Amino acid sequence: MGMDGALDTGSREQQRLALAIQISDELSRFESDGIQPPAVTAAFRRRGRTAAGAALAIARIIVERSRVGFLPLSLSHYLEELSKSAQVELRPLLAASGIEGEGGEPWPLPAVARLCRRLGLTFREAFLHLGIGQAESIGARPVSMVMARRRTASGGSDPLAAYEAALREAVAEIDATEKLQAWEADLRSAYEESGNGE
Amino acid sequence: MHTDLEALAGRMAAMEEDAFREFADFFGPRLRALFRSRGLSAAEADDLAVTCITDIALKANRYDPSRGGRFAAWVFTLAYRALIDLWRRQPMSEPLPPELALAESLDDPAELVELTDAVREAVAKLPASEQILVRLRDLGGMVSYREIAERLGIQPSAARVRHHRALRRLRSLLEPDPRIQWLLQRGSA
């Protein structure tokens, strides 16, 4: 830390003052154009640009999502549709959140949680997308079909509630309620882990 | 090349593609250097810097210059939060080290800017012979007393004494500064 012994009379205020001097120096160097940070490799520079490109793609998808709203689709299908409308490439965006390869879901939950948070999805929205994908993968009827039969698409003041009820019904029909509960618990845990102080 | 960081923030909020690339080029190496200086390995610093580039760039439209901060200070604050989160996710999580605890209390970039301005102005008020000691030893250089002594043509013990005298004077300039008071009074470090 470099300040050892600098203000060494030991009171808490003095220690805080010493740390404050240090942090203010760090910020000066951080924002200065004149003081160059140590050189980075070309590979790191490429990774940085890819990460920034992913941020821009996510920002464009967020704009598109605010127009479209929630749709009862698996996360991968929802993102495919949004990325087409927003005219952004999906693969780099997924890779930036730790989702690699060509295949669809299931994706690693920590990566799903990070991606959903970046997209601004609430936990309930994220769980619905995840649950819809998982339920269909084990043979449950599509949630949109259940919704059509129940004719409860609006959900009153809480539109997601109707989708949640339809999802529960779809998995109950194939005796998979416990699986749904386990997915919810796993995603909640991943969501909390990915909190980033928010 | 001079980078207008406030303009960059505005261009990012307007989703200009070039602005996102410039953000990565300017802040990527700085984020990496900051994380390395905080003890992360090269690979950890690379990963956290890249994650921060995405997460912070994505939030650029939330930066509000009217609140009195500067864009770089805002980025710096978010970078420290990411570092604190990483620390807390460690399996053998220990209490935050003092510098991270202090950074955690700096939740408003405007306060950070005021703090930095106060320190910069106080250092500028020191006699030139003391400024050089503080700059070498505390501000960026972190140079040893032996090296300082060699540069100034004095004994290492004299360098140490003069440095302590300079810090006492700096402290006496900073302690009454209203821009520092909140820091000295806030929470535990």
Q: Give the model confidence (pLDDT) of A17-53 as tens digits.
A: 777 788 888 888 888 776 677 789 999 999 999 999 9
* Structural domain includes residue A79: yes
B88-A182-A73 Cα angle (round to 5): 100
Flag the least confident range among A11-15, A61-65, B56-60, B168-172: A11-15
- Distance from chain centroid for Cα B112: 9
Q: Give the model confidence (pLDDT) of B39-73 as tens digits.
A: 899 999 999 999 999 999 999 999 988 877 789 99
Q: CB-side exposure of B72: number of CA atoms within 13 Å?
A: 20
State how many domains chain A has: 1
Mutate to test the interface with A, among B119, B133, B145 (most CBs of A within 10 A): B119
Are the CB atoms for A79 and A116 separated by under 8 Å?
no
The CATH architecture one would assign to domain B115-185 is Orthogonal Bundle (1.10)
- Smallest CA-to-CA distance from B130 within B166, B170, B81, B91 is with B166
Question: Mind telling me how many Å the CA of B127 is from chain A's nearest CA?
Answer: 18
Q: How far is CA B30 from CA A36, A38, A93, B52, in A?
A: 8, 8, 23, 11
Question: Mind telling me how many Å the CA of A118 is from chain B's nearest CA?
Answer: 7
Q: Give the model confidence (pLDDT) of B170-180 as tens digits.
A: 888 888 888 88
The ranges of chain B annotated as CATH 1.10.1740.10 are 5-104
Contact state of A45 with B139 under an 8 Å Cβ cutoff: no
Question: Mind telling me how many Å the CA of B186 is from chain A's nearest CA?
Answer: 10
Q: Give the model confidence (pLDDT) of A109-145 as tens digits.
A: 999 999 999 999 999 999 999 999 999 999 999 888 8
Question: Mind telling me how many Å the CA of A97 is from chain B's nearest CA?
Answer: 8
Contact state of B50 with A35 under an 8 Å Cβ cutoff: no
Which top CATH class is B5-104? mainly alpha
Compute the CA torsion angle A24, A29, A31, A35 (nearest 10 deg). Answer: 160
Q: How far is CA B43 from CA A33, A197, B155, in A?
A: 25, 22, 40
- pLDDT of A91 reads 87
Select from B98, B119, B175 the Cβ nearest to the Cβ of A24.
Answer: B119
Per DSSP, the residues of A27-95 read HHHHH-SSSPPPP--HHHHHHHHHHHHHHHHHHHHHHHHHHH---SS-HHHHHHHHHHHHT--HHHHHH
Distance between CA atoms of residues A3 and A6, nearest Å: 5
Contact state of A35 with B140 under an 8 Å Cβ cutoff: yes
* Structural domain includes residue A10: no
Contact state of B119 with A20 under an 8 Å Cβ cutoff: yes
- Smallest CA-to-CA distance from A196 within A130, A123, A94, A117 is with A117
Per DSSP, the residues of A17-46 read HHHHHHHHHHHHHHH-SSSPPPP--HHHHH
Residues of B in contact with A193 (CB under 8 A): 89
Question: Mind telling me how many Å the CA of A67 is from chain B's nearest CA?
Answer: 17
Closest residue of chain A to B22, computed from CA coordinates: A49
Contact state of B72 with A30 under an 8 Å Cβ cutoff: yes
- pLDDT over 70 at A167, yes or no: yes
- pLDDT of A155 reads 56
In this prediction the ipTM stands at 0.81
The ranges of chain B annotated as CATH 1.10.10.10 are 115-185
Contact state of A51 with B103 under an 8 Å Cβ cutoff: no
- A170 or A156, which is more confident: A170
Give the domain range for residue A57.
Answer: 41-193
**Single pTM value for the model:** 0.82
Provide the token pair at B48: 């956290």
Select from B24, B76, B138 the Cβ nearest to the Cβ of A30.
Answer: B76
Are the CB atoms for A116 and A191 separated by under 8 Å?
yes
- pLDDT over 60 at A164, yes or no: yes
